[in-house]
């Protein structure tokens, strides 16, 4: 299973922006080139058929414009990944998560069977939901209705955000779902494992302030004996339960693939809150009860999000690039910053700014330890060519392919090349922030909001081209170092 998600509530972020971030990672042994596009209302289909599920649905009229990061090769469907729509609502879909046989036996996944159509999944969700919602809560409600009617063929975690809130939805079997609002002063770590660890049914069935769910969730829990909470004899229908115990998994696979990632993210963002190396319950790489959300020790920035989602257990014996551990230790756990990243999207809805330029979508391609982010304003009619054009053949005219080449060349010579990578990341992130500040200032001086999209599009292209120059220069430097470090190198002075 691929992907890692990090969510940051608005009171946990440095500028008050809710931050939704996810790496889209391909399955082992495969790579899916990505591009970013702007889908205008006239380009949105009115009848949609999924490629994987072969299920057809009629879509509403009057969709909103939205951004998307689809596969560059459409043979397996759209796979929109993440985007922000014209009213500044963001969506990331999907984090593949886990379940257990009791849940899947009670509400089986809806899979395609010969000519019989299946259901919807990661390939489809951004396209089916994002153009039709005007708040994060509406995103949960629309997707929940689609799941109830059509089902899904996989377990999914989906994030929605607006300027105030982040909501996190997890599918529970083929048709059921739960969703929680992220506490505003917390962050959430999600590593391919069903994550929500506390849920209030009374709130979900009533005001829905912080919890939403399938209307029949209480009956579903009771009928199939899914709630594993120890209770008094008089407390059978208590409202609060642990979804991770009821719907999730605690397998040995989780302990090498999933929980270590949550452990390292929380170790990084709360370095003094626990004794992270003592192997204690709730603070070890194989812990089943790491909290779903926690309050960070300081406010978090875009750079913190990028660093965490690029990490590979630095400072521990589990770092595959470090000489500290044994070979077994260095290969023990699945890194967050893995070779098969397709794309990273950080979705930022900045409160207090005019709606015309409030939303930013930060994008990186290929393996995160070696790449950088490019910011893109989303209130535009098209994306910059450097981000939007990903040909089938390898080309340095594409940010995806250039980033992929750098990572592949740098990996074998990590110690020699990482200083260049770090300088590149520092330089390009600096350029990105400066470009955002300049565009904000220019947009604030425009008399008509109708003139802003063209201004933002020019800013997007300008920063993309600046970062293209830096990326090309880094590629040349990495190629030179890797060429000099080839195994068949020899000089007469070697002897």
**Chunked mean pLDDT (size 10), the chain, 495 residues:** 93 98 94 97 97 96 98 93 98 97 98 90 98 98 98 98 98 98 98 97 98 98 95 75 97 96 98 96 95 98 98 97 94 97 98 96 98 98 95 94 98 97 98 98 90 97 98 98 94 76
CA gap 268, 194 in Å, rounded = 21
Please confirm, yes or no, whether 3 is among the known catalytic residues: yes
3, 36, 269, 388: which one is catalytic? 3
pLDDT of residue 489: 92
CA gap 90, 83 in Å, rounded = 6
Residue 411, classified by CB atoms within 10 Å of its CB into exposed (0-12), middle (13-18) or buried (19+), is middle
157: number of Cβ within 10 Å: 24
Name which of 81, 90, 21 is nearest 303 in CA terms: 21
pLDDT of residue 1: 60
Please give the backbone phi and psi of residue 257, each rounded to the nearest 5 degrees, phi first: -105, -35
DSSP state of 182: P
Residue 440, C-beta contacts closer than 8 angstroms, at least 6 positions apart: 353, 357
Residue 171, C-beta contacts closer than 8 angstroms, at least 6 positions apart: 97, 147, 152, 154, 155, 156, 157, 177
pLDDT of residue 495: 64
61: number of Cβ within 10 Å: 9
């Amino acid at each position: 299973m691929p992907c890692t998600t990090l969510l940051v509530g608005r009171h946990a972020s440095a500028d008050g922006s809710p931050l939704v971030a996810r790496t889209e990672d391909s399955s082992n042994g495969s790579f899916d080139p990505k591009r970013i596009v702007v889908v205008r209302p006239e380009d949105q289909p009115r009848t949609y058929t999924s490629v994987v599920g072969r299920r057809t649905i009629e879509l509403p009229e009057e969709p909103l414009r939205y951004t998307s990061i689809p596969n560059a090769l459409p043979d397996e469907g759209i796979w929109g990944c993440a985007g922000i729509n014209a009213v500044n609502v963001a969506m990331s879909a999907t984090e593949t998560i886990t379940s257990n046989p009791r849940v899947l036996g009670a509400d089986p996944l809806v899979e395609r069977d010969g000519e019989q159509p299946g259901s919807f999944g990661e390939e489809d969700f951004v396209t089916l939901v994002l153009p039709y919602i005007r708040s994060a809560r509406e995103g949960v409600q629309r997707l929940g209705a689609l799941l109830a009617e059509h089902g899904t063929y996989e377990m999914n975690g989906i994030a929605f955000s607006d300027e105030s809130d982040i909501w996190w939805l997890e599918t529970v079997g083929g048709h059921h779902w739960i969703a929680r609002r992220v506490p505003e002063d917390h962050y959430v770590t999600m590593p391919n494992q069903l994550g929500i660890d506390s849920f209030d049914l009374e709130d979900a069935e009533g005001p829905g302030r912080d919890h939403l769910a399938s209307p029949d969730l209480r009956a579903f829990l009771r009928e199939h004996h899914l709630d594993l909470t120890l209770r008094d004899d008089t407390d059978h229908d208590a409202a609060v339960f642990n979804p991770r115990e009821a719907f999730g998994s605690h397998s040995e696979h989780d302990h090498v693939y999933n929980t270590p990632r949550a452990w390292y993210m929380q170790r990084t963002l709360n370095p003094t809150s626990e004794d992270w190396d003592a192997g204690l319950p709730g603070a070890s790489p194989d812990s089943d009860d790491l909290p779903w959300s926690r309050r960070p020790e300081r406010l978090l920035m875009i750079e913190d999000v990028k660093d965490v989602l690029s990490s590979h257990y630095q400072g521990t014996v589990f770092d595959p690039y470090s000489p500290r551990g044994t070979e077994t230790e260095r290969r023990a756990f699945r890194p967050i910053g893995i070779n098969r990243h397709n794309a990273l999207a950080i979705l930022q809805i900045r409160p207090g700014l005019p709606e015309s330029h409030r939303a930013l979508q930060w994008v990186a391609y290929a393996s995160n330890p070696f790449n950088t982010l490019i910011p893109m304003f989303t209130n535009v009619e098209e994306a910059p060519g450097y981000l939007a054009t990903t040909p089938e053949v390898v080309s340095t005219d594409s940010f995806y392919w250039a980033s992929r080449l750098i990572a592949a060349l740098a990996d074998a010579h990590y110690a020699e090349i990482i200083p260049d990578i770090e300088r590149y990341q520092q330089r390009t992130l600096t350029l990105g922030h400066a470009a955002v500040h300049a565009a904000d200032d220019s947009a604030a001086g425009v008399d008509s909001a109708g003139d802003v999209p063209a201004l933002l599009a020019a800013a997007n292209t300008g920063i993309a081209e600046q970062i293209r120059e830096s990326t090309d220069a880094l590629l040349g430097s990495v190629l030179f170092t890797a060429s000099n470090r080839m195994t068949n190198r020899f000089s007469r002075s070697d002897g």
